């Protein structure tokens, strides 16, 4: 069996790896590190949670051990789709470079430009950045990419989902043609394959698992959900989520709950906290400081439930996540694999439970088609239809009250209207009826005569007992007259 000591890593890097407690590389690490150390381009395809970060971090540090960076000209560049993933990569560099005199900078949103510029001005060996913030610094004239010797694109398929591909292509054009490129992704969409064919030179391709497959250590389930009423679907779905959390009992040490929309992240987190659960939201609209505090709390175990958008689905390394709940079936099937990949990491057992409503069945079919297996259906802990949550009942009360009030207020004038014409009818029926019928009767008169029928027995049919003479004439006779 291959060990890290067999991979020709820099002795100082190897020492840091051993102190971190690692001896045996994962398949993606064993396949990517040797060609990367030889200076070749690498195309790594592996499911999330397989150690891709160390697969490019360790060879980069070994290659950069010699040399020195110049001001505003980083020697290497790592591109990540999200702030959290970029911060995690930076932590990996700090861990494995503890015995090397290398500098690194982290360029992400939510941090002051001046602080980042001060670090870049001193010169950095490793620059870790999100595409948007990197281009911001470049356009401000604070960054020069002509000295980049190694470029890494991490979670490339997520870059595609987030619309970063044009930025990636532009950044490739700003770096030297002679650079070494390490390209990692969990899936290979046609657009990503086009980029690799354009910018990578005869890459060593390492594919350690079938594209978009979930780890065998993850137990997957789907709970089918049918609301009692459409307007109660959301509240009943939240009630079902709480019932599922309770049903797992002590087996659930912590969990990530994924929602498709940022607004739902906030609503679900607030609902859980209202019902006494230890939960907090994380999504792209929150301040970076708040996102960092939330993640730190989840990693340290002080926070039990993390309600997240897909910003947290890729590359976040929290090894001991026991459960993943998909509050929504993801719109992109690949996101399902990345979401549930947050559990069952490093050989641990994990469980992923997905809530599926009737409108999500097509998305579920797409997921099962992608992973090439049917996800077992689990029993709904609340039966076929979840009962309305307490919060929903409270919301309904004022609505019912308002409807009852409006009904009473509407009925009052209606009754008055019924009484008024009846009085008019008596007066009207006492008057003699005109024989010429020259003027049309008003609607109140017609209505009055009908209601008058109950009072005095008079019968009114059509135009009354009198038939106007002109109606009996033929058309020719009328014209002649």
Contact present, 214 and 324 (Cβ < 8 Å): no
Alpha-carbon distance of 311 to 83, in angstroms, equals: 9
Alpha-carbon distance of 337 to 315, in angstroms, equals: 12
Percent of the chain with pLDDT over 90: 46
All structural domains of the chain, each given as residue ranges with its CATH number in brackets, are: 4-207 (3.40.50.300), 218-388 (3.40.50.300), 394-480 (no CATH)
DSSP class of residue 406 equals H
Q: Span 182-205, mean pLDDT?
A: 90
| 230: Cβ contacts below 8 Å, ≥ 6 apart | none
Contact present, 68 and 59 (Cβ < 8 Å): no
Contact present, 69 and 125 (Cβ < 8 Å): yes
pLDDT of residue 25: 92
Cα–Cα distance list, 466 to 249, 430, 436 (Å): 86, 18, 8
Contact present, 318 and 355 (Cβ < 8 Å): no
pLDDT of 84 > 70? The answer is yes
Backbone region of residue 344 per phi and psi (left: phi > 0; alpha: psi in -120 to 50; beta: other values): left
pLDDT of 194 > 50? The answer is yes
Alpha-carbon distance of 148 to 126, in angstroms, equals: 9
Alpha-carbon distance of 73 to 68, in angstroms, equals: 10
Q: What is the SS3 assignment for 183?
A: strand
Other Cβ atoms within 10 Å of 315 Cβ, number: 25
| 464: Cβ contacts below 8 Å, ≥ 6 apart | 433, 437
Determine the straight-line distance between the first and last CA of the chain, rounded to whole angstroms: 118
Q: Where are the alpha helices (DSSP H) in 25-112?
A: 27-37, 52-64, 83-96
pLDDT of residue 314: 58
What tens digit of pLDDT does each residue of 228-285 get?
888 888 999 999 999 999 999 999 999 999 999 889 999 999 999 999 999 999 887 7
Q: What is the pTM of this model?
A: 0.62
What tens digit of pLDDT does each residue of 12-54 get?
999 999 998 888 998 999 999 999 999 999 999 887 667 889 9
Alpha-carbon distance of 238 to 232, in angstroms, equals: 10
Backbone region of residue 247 per phi and psi (left: phi > 0; alpha: psi in -120 to 50; beta: other values): alpha
What tens digit of pLDDT does each residue of 324-383 get?
999 999 988 878 888 888 888 767 889 999 999 888 999 999 999 988 889 999 988 887
pLDDT of residue 281: 93
Phi then psi for residue 225, to 5 deg, are -130, 130
Structure tokens at 176: 């030297």
Contact present, 149 and 74 (Cβ < 8 Å): no
- Length of the chain measured in residues: 481
pLDDT of residue 238: 95
| 1: Cβ contacts below 8 Å, ≥ 6 apart | 24
DSSP class of residue 111 equals S
User: Please, what is the average pLDDT of the chain?
Assistant: 81
What tens digit of pLDDT does each residue of 198-212 get?
999 999 999 886 556
Phi then psi for residue 289, to 5 deg, are -65, -40
pLDDT of 435 > 60? The answer is no
């Amino acid at each position: 069996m291959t060990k890290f000591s067999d991979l020709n890593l820099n002795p100082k890097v190897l020492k840091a790896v051993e102190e971190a407690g690692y001896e045996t590389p994962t398949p993606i690490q064993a396949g990517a590190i040797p060609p990367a150390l030889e200076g070749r381009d690498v195309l790594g395809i592996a499911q999330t949670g397989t150690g891709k970060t160390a697969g490019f971090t360790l060879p980069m540090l070994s290659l950069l051990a010699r040399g020195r960076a110049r001001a505003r000209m980083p020697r290497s560049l790592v591109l990540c789709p999200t702030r959290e993933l970029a911060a995690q990569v930076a932590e990996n560099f700090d861990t494995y470079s503890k015995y090397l005199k290398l500098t690194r900078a982290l360029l992400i949103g939510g941090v002051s430009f001046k602080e980042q510029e001060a670090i870049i001005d001193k010169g950095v060996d490793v620059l870790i950045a999100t595409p948007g913030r990197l281009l911001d610094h470049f356009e401000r004239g604070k960054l020069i990419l002509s000295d980049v010797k190694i470029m890494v694109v991490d979670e490339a398929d997520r870059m595609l989902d987030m619309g970063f591909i044009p930025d990636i292509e532009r950044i490739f054009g700003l770096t030297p043609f002679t650079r070494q490129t390490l390209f990692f992704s969990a899936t290979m969409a046609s657009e990503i394959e086009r980029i690799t064919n354009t910018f990578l030179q005869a890459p060593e391709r390492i594919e350690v698992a079938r594209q978009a497959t979930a780890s065998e250590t993850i137990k997957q389930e789907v709970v089918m959900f049918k609301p009692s009423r459409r307007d109660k679907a959301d509240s009943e779905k939240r009630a079902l989520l709480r019932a599922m959390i309770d049903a797992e009992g002590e087996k659930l040490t912590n969990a990530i709950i994924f929602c498709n929309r940022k607004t739902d992240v906030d609503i679900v987190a607030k609902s859980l906290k209202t019902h006494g659960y230890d939960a907090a939201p994380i999504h792209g609209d929150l301040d970076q400081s708040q996102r960092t505090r939330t993640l730190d709390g989840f990693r340290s175990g002080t926070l039990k439930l993390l309600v997240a958008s897909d910003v947290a689905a890729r590359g976040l390394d929290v090894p001991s996540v026991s459960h993943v709940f998909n509050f929504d079936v993801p719109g992109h099937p690949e996101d399902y694999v990345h979401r549930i990949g947050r559990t069952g990491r490093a050989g641990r057992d994990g469980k992923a439970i997905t809530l599926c409503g009737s409108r999500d069945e097509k998305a579920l079919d797409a997921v099962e088609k992608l992973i090439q297996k049917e996800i077992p259906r689990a029993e709904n802990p609340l039966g076929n239809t979840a009962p309305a949550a307490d919060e929903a009942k409270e919301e309904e009360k004022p609505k019912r009250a308002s409807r009852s009030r409006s009904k009473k207020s509407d009925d009052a004038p209606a009754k008055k209207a019924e009484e008024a014409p009846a009085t008019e009818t008596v007066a009207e029926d006492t008057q003699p009826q005109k024989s010429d019928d020259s003027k049309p009767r008003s609607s109140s008169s017609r209505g009055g005569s009908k209601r008058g029928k109950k009072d005095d027995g008079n019968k009114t049919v059509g135009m009354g007992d009198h038939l106007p003479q002109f109606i009996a004439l033929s058309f020719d006779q009328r014209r002649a007259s």
